[in-house]
Structure 1
Amino acid sequence: MKKKYIITFAVLLVLSLALAACGGSKQLTMLTGGTGGTYYPLGGEISKIISDEAEMKVTPSSSNASADNIQALADEEADIAFTQTDVMANAVEGTNSFEGKAVDNVLAMGSLYPETIQIVTSANSGITSVEDLVGKKVSVGAPGSGTRVNAEQILAAHGLDIDSDIQAQDLDFDESTGGIQDGNIDAAFITAGTPTGSVEGLAATSDITIVPIAQDKIDALVEEFPYYAADTIPSGTYGLESEVTTVAVLAMLAVSDSLSEDDVYEMTKAVYENTGKITHAKGKLITKESALDGIGIDLHPGAEKYFKEAGLLD
């Protein structure tokens, strides 16, 4: 009997040492986006903040972004992910890229900042309006991204069809700006926080234009899809001489409903109590006071607990 206790103690000692070696922290995966967008660098910072402030280790990973990220959460291939509020709403409703396959096991953690729809082209392309995209080679975003849905809706608001009126190219942000620089495509839809790294890189070597969306089309989009909001790209961004009117959705963090209330509470608190540590330009737009903006789906109970404690929910 004494020998049995000695063996048991030895096993427990080995296990405790193993846990101590890894900090006793849970290992979680965060899906971000393509390396040329905003999600990737910002996701790296947010992952570090959670890892530093909570009893868990969050590892960021690049991805095709919004729709693919939600599907990965639904398939339990990741724990937390960046997405767009509009794409999240589509997933819950089973519409657009989630037609016939509604998602019911992904919940909201909180929103982050406006994501601007940017229609990028070279300054000498002759493209000055959305209607000028007819017949052109246009990137509509990586497969499974929210950008494609935005492109489809914006084109439709102008009476254009994504499959027949343009030569749609399924490219990520870096491929899109590289294609414009090389002359392989004419324009690209890019949905990301401004300034966007890949667009900045293009603007550093080429004169570019951001195609504006007319006010009546903005009004129509906002009326039909309430998750859109009017937005403006300020003059000086990418070297632009004047501001550009467009629309935006919101970036948000979504989580698997399999995560515990305690874990999501700790993650939510870590992010929204430490936004001052975010050095990315979008950090100044991320606040706990705006964290519920545009959230059209249920909050995870852990996130709900934090926002109630913060006085932002009844």
Structure 2
Amino acid sequence: MSKGRRTARISVAIAAAGVVALSACAAPDDVEGPGSGNGDGDVEEVFLQLATGSTGGTYYPLGGEIAQLWGDNIDGLQVDTFATGASVQNLRALEGATEDEEAGAIDQSELIMSVNGVAMQAQNSTGPFADEPLASPDDLYAMGNIYPEVMQVVVRADSDIETIADLEGANVEIGPPGSGTEVAARQILEAYGLDPDSDINPFDSTFGDAATALGDGQVDAAFGILSVPAAGIMEVSASNDVRILAIDGDEAEQLIEEDPSYSPLTIDGGTYNGQDEDVVTLTQWATLYSTSALDEDLAYELTRVMYEEADSIGHDVGSQVVLETALDGLGDIEVHPGSARFFEEQGILD
């Protein structure tokens, strides 16, 4: 497993993606894997739900496509998605994954997408989980990375703000409460010597609304952990040139040392209108997580299909769903046994 520091460069084009709706779910306990028969020659259906993120971000549309991919390639499986406040909220949702032997069912309704750094905090009961830790922080299993989660701090190109330190006194969108964006934004601001509660005027919109506010001049800057390019930033830069603020130097080194889920990444110049030069920032990973309540054979199939059929994903980050980075930055979080079996077969996990 590779847990070291990685440097990457990303410059890709934006594409549309579909979504599906929320539904309740439960699976029979005699299902040993997707597509198992019920003794009468019929395929028993398994229903899961995937917690994604806000409608203005990447998780929501991408999660819908991945869910559809699973449904199209795994017999008897239906995965429905729903919008959430993203990482912190999703990790707390995993508390609902339990086994009920008397009812004859295993609640397999919780698959979630989360930033890997926030998942590490959940496991260690730190950050947003310090005062209210998860009931079972060790019952958190990774199923593989999906794409690089790039921190993009965007300002209008005509802004006087040149660095993160220049955000002092500014109106700044730092992300919805409990989102990976908010957690990372606070870490970054503090690394640059700014108190996110008193040295800036913080706002907590979803990135879609934050991008609109930036374009309208209602805020001076917006943080977003997003794919590259980000749809919201593309929309703003269509009518207002923008710049991405660098996160590098001693401050970035400090963040990486304190939180190994971070690694440096360069966004190519020209990715957005107005951003002419390469800019160095930080990335984490959007990762798929579940719990021990998820059937091992089903976890194997979910992982296999996500990587083997990634070319069918229409969203641009589909090209970034690759085995080479599937296990980067997971820290001490264990890989789900079903997913581990697939990674072992592929030779990327001993």
In the other structure, the counterpart of 2:309 is 274
Distance in structure 1 (CA, Å) of the matches to 2:79 and 2:67:
5
- Kept after mapping to 1: 8 A contact 2:96/2:110: no
After superposition, the C-alpha distances for 1:28-54 in whole angstroms (9 at most, x for unaligned) are 101111122111221111111111111
Distance in structure 2 (CA, Å) of the matches to 1:309 and 1:207:
47
Question: Out of 341, 345, 349, which is 1:305 matched to?
Answer: 341
Q: State the 1:139 CA deviation.
A: 0.8
In the other structure, the counterpart of 1:125 is 159
Question: Out of 239, 249, 259, which is 1:205 matched to?
Answer: 239
- Look up the SS of the partner of 2:67 in the other structure: helix
Q: State the 1:249 CA deviation.
A: 0.6
Matches within 5 A, 1:204-243: 204-239=238-273, 240-243=275-278
- Kept after mapping to 1: 8 A contact 2:62/2:315: yes
- Look up the SS of the partner of 2:348 in the other structure: coil
In the other structure, the counterpart of 1:38 is 58
Distance in structure 1 (CA, Å) of the matches to 2:291 and 2:233:
32
- Kept after mapping to 1: 8 A contact 2:210/2:222: yes
In the other structure, the counterpart of 1:80 is 111
Counterpart of 1:212, as a letter, is A
- Look up the SS of the partner of 1:115 in the other structure: strand
Any stretches of 5+ residues in structure 2 without a counterpart?
1-37, 98-106
Matches within 5 A, 1:1-150: 24-55=44-75, 56-76=77-97, 78-100=109-131, 101-102=133-134, 103-150=137-184
Instruction: Give % identity.
Output: 39
Distance in structure 1 (CA, Å) of the matches to 2:181 and 2:96:
22
Distance in structure 1 (CA, Å) of the matches to 2:72 and 2:229:
27
After superposition, the C-alpha distances for 1:218-247 in whole angstroms (9 at most, x for unaligned) are 222112211110111111111221111111
Matches within 5 A, 1:232-271: 232-239=266-273, 240-271=275-306
- Look up the SS of the partner of 1:201 in the other structure: helix
- Kept after mapping to 2: 8 A contact 1:36/1:196: no
In the other structure, the counterpart of 1:11 is none
- Look up the SS of the partner of 2:239 in the other structure: coil
- Range with bigger deviation, 71-80 or 117-126: 71-80
- Kept after mapping to 1: 8 A contact 2:269/2:276: yes
Cα RMSD for the two superposed structures: 1.8
Distance in structure 1 (CA, Å) of the matches to 2:264 and 2:229:
17
- Look up the SS of the partner of 1:238 in the other structure: coil
Counterpart of 1:46, as a letter, is I
In the other structure, the counterpart of 2:100 is none
- Kept after mapping to 1: 8 A contact 2:156/2:240: yes
In the other structure, the counterpart of 1:169 is 203
After superposition, the C-alpha distances for 1:259-297 in whole angstroms (9 at most, x for unaligned) are 111111111111111122122211222112321111120
Q: State the 1:118 CA deviation.
A: 0.6
| TM-score in terms of structure 1 length | 0.89
In the other structure, the counterpart of 1:6 is none
- Look up the SS of the partner of 1:266 in the other structure: helix
Distance in structure 1 (CA, Å) of the matches to 2:336 and 2:271:
36
- Kept after mapping to 2: 8 A contact 1:273/1:288: no
Q: State the 1:145 CA deviation.
A: 0.2
Distance in structure 2 (CA, Å) of the matches to 1:138 and 1:243:
23
Which is helix-richer, 1 or 2?
Answer: 1
After superposition, the C-alpha distances for 1:154-187 in whole angstroms (9 at most, x for unaligned) are 1111111111111111111011111112222111
Distance in structure 1 (CA, Å) of the matches to 2:55 and 2:330:
26
Any stretches of 5+ residues in structure 1 without a counterpart?
1-15
Distance in structure 1 (CA, Å) of the matches to 2:179 and 2:334:
22
Find the structure with the greater CA-based Rg.
Answer: 1
- Look up the SS of the partner of 2:294 in the other structure: coil
